[in-house]
Amino acid sequence: MAATVFDSEIFRDSFAAPEMREIFSERQTVARYVEVEVALAGVEGRLGVIPQAAADAIKQRASAKDIDLEQLRQATNVVGYPIVGLVSQLAKQSGDAGRYLHWGATTQDIMDTAVVLQIKAALAVIDSDLVALDRALAHLANTHRSTVMAGRTHLQHALPITFGYKAAVWLSAIVRHRRRLKEIRPRVLVGQFGGAAGTLASLGDKGLAVQDALMTELGLGSSAMPWHVGRDAVAETVSLLALIAGSLAKIATDIMLMMQTEVAETFEPFEEGRGSSSTMPQKRNPIACELIIAAAGIVRQHAGLMFAAMAADHERATGPWHLEWLALPEAFLATGAALKHARAALEGLIVEPERMRRNLDLTGGLIVAEAVMMALAEYTGRQAAHHIVAHASRAALAKGTPLLVELEGEAKVTQHLSPARLRELTDPVNYLGSALAMVDRLLAERAAAG
């Protein structure tokens, strides 16, 4: 019976993308173990380490689908690791050739290399989702390049921006993550084969040849040194997942805040019953955003566990490694879920430009008080201009009048700035700075990078 949200019949699709759940499923994990064992026998046969006939028999007979998981569970409970029990079953499947299974290997070689094969498959899924998010955000940035809205700092109106600018900020993080993912692969997709203490002593002078041939066979990189206790690459992998999930949580937080009734500037795509309340028929809750933020919290915690697992003792850890068995798969499951929800939200995001403009105008032009101050400062100096415009702003707030009205009644302003100039300065559309150029620059850089 399932005991966590990742395996729950009820919650599992909310917290784990189906592709990720399949990659890290128990059956697939066992299949990867078997794949490594069979590949090892194959290369050792070619290199004359074990008889070729034995290698051929192992390849023909060893079968992951015929592994008895209950029997493997019982053996694992006794040994503490699954590989002894697995090799025992594979040896029975392989007949006399079974005595050549696992030749020169240690449990961690098989488990680590299997995990790297899973990471390879999982990173391909992550990459595909990032590409899709990249496209969705680029579309939003381009489509709403000039859709003016209120920029907010400390949750308050700050200066005008465009929604395209906001989407481009989101996009810039995804662009960086795609670059990070490309850069991380050569460091992470490296298999493990070192034997009992990492020295491959049991294989004599053929140890490195077997190692290199095995990794070539599996499509992985080969490491100059064993990484049984050098866990930085797997920790880096989960750290990248935490960065990706963190960026998705930032996007989700923005969308969630913009979905507030009083703001109503963007909405998750409509789906009948999605985000409804058991008691309030009018509710449309930001469910995708909530799940993304929860997933990001899970991944962040698991990144911490991965760092804890780096404190391995001597040539083989006496416990820290076990933390990875929990942290790494669940980090991928949660990140996959966050990406799935982000794609659903962003590919169908509902944007309300008219509401953005109404919200922008809520303060009657106060959002561009800085624009007036900077223009006036050319005549009065910055400090004096700040005092004059601040006085007019307070008056506008107290009376509920537009800033323009207060400025037009202030001689210290009108002696320097004409009515036409004041109207220009108090229109938020005219105070976007380099926002549009920034959007264009990011989109151009993205296009150049392919």
Just list the catalytic residues.
Answer: 154, 277
**The pair of three-digit structure tokens given for residue 415, joined into one six-digit string:** 């002696």
Cα–Cα nearest to 371, from 409, 426, 410: 426
Whose CA is closest to 267, among 255, 276, 279, 277?
255
Instruction: Provide the phi-psi class of 149: left if phi over 0, else alpha when psi is between -120 and 50, else beta.
Output: beta
Pairing outcome for strands 266-267 and 350-351: antiparallel
CA angle, residues 388, 392, 395, in degrees to nearest 5 = 140
Contacts of 270 (CB under 8 A, 6+ apart): 284, 350
CB 291 within 8 A of CB 338: yes
- Choose among 169, 188, 151, 44: nearest CA to 104: 44
Q: Show the tokens assigned to 97.
A: 């050739």
